[in-house]
Each structure stands twice: as structure tokens, then as C-alpha cells.
Amino acid sequence: MPRPPLPPPPPPVPYRTWPDPEAMRADRARAMRELGRRALGAPAAVGFWLYALLLAVGWGCVGVALQTFEQGLFPDVLIGGIFLVLGVGAIVPAAILLGLGVRRDRTIRQRLSQWRELGADPAVDARVRAPGRSLAWLLPSFALAALGLGTSVGWAAAARPGADTYADAAFFIGAGCVMWVVGLLGMVKAVGHYRWAVRGM
């Protein structure tokens, strides 16, 4: 089922036809609450982490493919090819969806700023700033990014020539990079919303 579109920005000044300030404030409140929900609400979190999980599963399939290719035997190569196709089939859409999410977040912040310029409503504005939700995004994202960086650097430092293979290196360093990138995207989302909120205080 397609996701409903974002609330539009306020109309340009010459085309604003609100009958009174109360009607304008009501539209402003509805738009900002919905934009705030789209930015940091539960649906946004579920979608983000599902895409991240799909990316991780995809890289896991690629890792299995690399391990089987290293064996060099026909059954292993065939199985590896299947896992490689599955992995790429998961990685590509997950990466695209995460990238579209970054662009969508930028649009949300722009529209929040445009609606906020119409005036002030302390109750609505405080709810949209949502410092608790920003922190709820930031902490797990930071932990994941740190785990990913530690995985990549730690494995590279502990690797032993002759005992660890190139397939192992590609899998573990790649998995660490995936975690680091996903965590970084989550931190960018949280910090971007926090910066928007601070500019309006």
C-alpha cells in the first residue's frame, strides 16, 4: 500500500486564503504534527530499521557467496551464485530505500521550517521538537555505528595471514561498514531534526 504524501508547504503569500488567523494556525498545527510524526515517529523508525535489516541480510548472503566461491568446487560455486543473487537483490532495494529516506528527511525539515515561519504555537512546536525521540534515534544509531567501526577495525587488526582468508576479510570488514553507514544515517537523521528544533527555539 503506497505511503500517503507529505503535507504540502504553506501556499505562497499571494495565494493564502485563510479566512482568519485561527484557520491558519489550525492548518499549521496539523501540518507540523504530521511532518513531525513522519520525521521521528514509530512508522519512520520501523521502516528505517527494516531497511537496515534487509541490508544486513543481503550482505550476509554476499558473505556466504564469497565463502563458497573460495572453495572452488562446482556445487559450492552454484550455491554461492544463488546466495550472491539473493544478496544483491536485498542490498540494492535496501540502499535505494535508505537513500530515498535521507532525501525525504531533508524535505520534511524544509517544510517544517516553512510552516514554522507562519508564526508560533508553543504547544505544537514543543511537541514537534520531540527531544526525547531525537535521543531515541541517536543512541542506538551511535551504538550501531561504533559497533560497525569496531568490527571493521578490530577484525583487520586481529587478522592473521594464512588463517584468515580474503573472503573473511571482505565479509567482516564489509559487515562493519554496513553497520557504520546505517548508524551514521540514523545519527544524521536525529542530529538534523535536533538542529532544526534548536534554530526555532
Question: Per residue in 3-37, pLDDT tens?
Answer: 788 999 999 988 888 999 999 999 999 999 999 99
| Angle, in degrees to the nearest 10, between helices 42-71 and 74-116 | 160
pLDDT reported for residue 79: 86
Give me the amino acid identity at 24: M
How many whole angstroms separate alpha carbon 33 and alpha carbon 36?
Answer: 5
Question: Per residue in 34-67, pLDDT tens?
Answer: 999 999 888 899 999 999 999 999 999 998 888 8
116-119: Cβ within 8 A, 24+ apart: 116/32, 116/200, 118/10, 118/24, 118/28, 119/21, 119/24, 119/25, 119/28
| Number of other CB atoms surrounding residue 3 within 10 Å | 9
Burial degree of 41 (CB within 10 A; 0-12, 13-18, 19+): middle
Does 73 have pLDDT greater than 70? no
> What is the pTM (predicted TM-score) of this model?
0.85
* Mean pLDDT value across residues 79-97: 93
* Mean pLDDT value across residues 175-191: 93
Give me the amino acid identity at 163: A
pLDDT reported for residue 121: 86
How many whole angstroms separate alpha carbon 100 and alpha carbon 80?
Answer: 30
Residue 1 banded pLDDT, cuts 50, 70, 90: low
**Ramachandran area for residue 72 (φ above 0: left; ψ -120 to 50: alpha; else beta):** left
